Amino acid sequence: MKRTFWILIATLLVLTAVDANGQRWKLRRYEMDIYLGVVSFAGDIGLADRPLANAFNGMRPSIGVIPRFKIRENLSVSLDLGYLMYGGKDDPGSSHGRVYTFNSQAFQHMARVEYFLVGTERGLTGGIYNRRGMVNNYNRLYLYLYAGAGGILSKAKVKDQNGEEPFSNPAYDNTLQYTAGFPVGGGIKFALDPRWSVGAELGYQFTLSDKLDGYQSRWSNYNDSYYLLSVKAVYMVRNDRKNRPIFNKYYR
């Protein structure tokens, strides 16, 4: 009888520990990414006939933040708020004879859904140990895919070989542009401790505009798009059981 009793107690303790560990993500639902990146733009001005060369043609920096909320352990929603710069330059030896350069500044605001392939209790995990054993067994490696929709506010300036804006060209439009965008991509991050992670993302942005580079050629068959490669620091904010974030307390 005693043996059966202690087996039952041990089983309950193990199940309770497993359940507590599996639900720990509910106490860290909030995250904030801060990222630095580069944009590679595909538009009418540039080396569209040479995709590989065009990927490095006129790369520009970007910066942004991504607040995130975990709906489930492997499913999050986030908001990408980024300040972007991108540019491009025509090939002087091209057959069309046009040699334009452009530079754009843009603000993107994208709502995203992120699905984690690795990083849940079924994924790869790690731990921190001391002389008494494991003191933290939080997930270490995360791999995810994302997709979303939002808006892009952009303004471009185009110059010709003489450094002048081609106002006489009816295809040139230097007004403020606003269009819808649809990001898809993936990322990876590594947890340094319960509060901080580092990571990287690669995304592709579809848009509904052909004027983000300030120029819409009559021979163009595709809307503008761009790649965004970024590295980031991620701060995880603990919350209470009512999902209210906790900012004024140190936690492990």
DSSP secondary structure letters along 44-100: SSS-TT-HHHHHTTT-EEEEEEEEEEEEETTEEEEEEEEEEEEEEE--TT-TT----
Assess if residue 4 is contained within a domain.
Answer: no
Question: What pLDDT sits at residue 88?
Answer: 86
In a domain, 244, yes or no: no
For residue 232, the enclosing domain spans: 29-237
The SS3 call for residue 199 is strand
Asked, for residue 148, whether it belongs to a domain, the answer is yes
Question: Which CATH number do you get for residue 86?
Answer: 2.40.160.20
Q: Output the six-digit token pair for 181.
A: 């965008």
Q: Note whether residue 78 is domain-resident.
A: yes
Q: Is residue 252 part of a domain?
A: no
Asked if residue 8 belongs to a domain, the reply is no
The tens-digit pLDDT sequence of the chain (252 residues) is: 555 544 544 444 443 444 444 466 677 788 999 999 999 998 888 776 676 666 677 788 999 999 999 998 899 999 999 999 998 888 776 656 678 889 999 999 999 999 999 866 544 444 444 444 444 445 578 999 999 999 999 999 999 888 899 888 988 989 999 999 999 999 999 988 888 999 999 999 999 999 998 988 777 778 999 999 999 999 988 777 766 767 665 555
Q: Domain count for the chain, please give it.
A: 1
pTM (global) more than 0.85: no
Is residue 13 a part of any domain in this protein? no
In a domain, 58, yes or no: yes
